[in-house]
Amino acid sequence: MSMDNSGKAYWKDTLGLVRNFLIIWFLVSYGAGILFAPALNSIHLGGYPLGFWFAQQGSIYIFVALIFIYAKMMGKLDEKYDVHED
């Protein structure tokens, strides 16, 4: 693979990863916290309706987890295309 094709493939994979994480971010924050809250409120977690829990705390936990998962996956992607730091 030429350097030009390798660079394009790297950015395609990087943008795909970012797109997927933004979709998850949207679904958790807007979807679970607002759109699907009435359906989720029939389930209780820690005494609170699940829709409320996602809107107040769950989305924060998911966002922090996404940061660590993104960093790990981006590190693997960097190693795959040999652009990682030593």
pLDDT in tens, 37-59: 899 899 998 888 988 888 888 88
Q: DSSP readout, 5-74?
A: HHHHHHHHHHHHHHHHHHHHHHIIIIIIIIISHHHHTTSEETTEEHHHHIIIIIHHHHHHHHHHHHHHHH
Residue 73 lies in domain:
56-86
Distance between CA atoms of residues 2 and 6, nearest Å: 6
Residue 12 included in any domain:
no
Residue 77 included in any domain:
yes
pTM of the model: 0.79
Residue 2 included in any domain:
no
pLDDT in tens, 63-83: 999 999 999 999 999 999 988
Of all helices (H) and strands (E), which one includes residue 2?
A: none
Number of domains in the chain: 1
Residue 20 included in any domain:
no
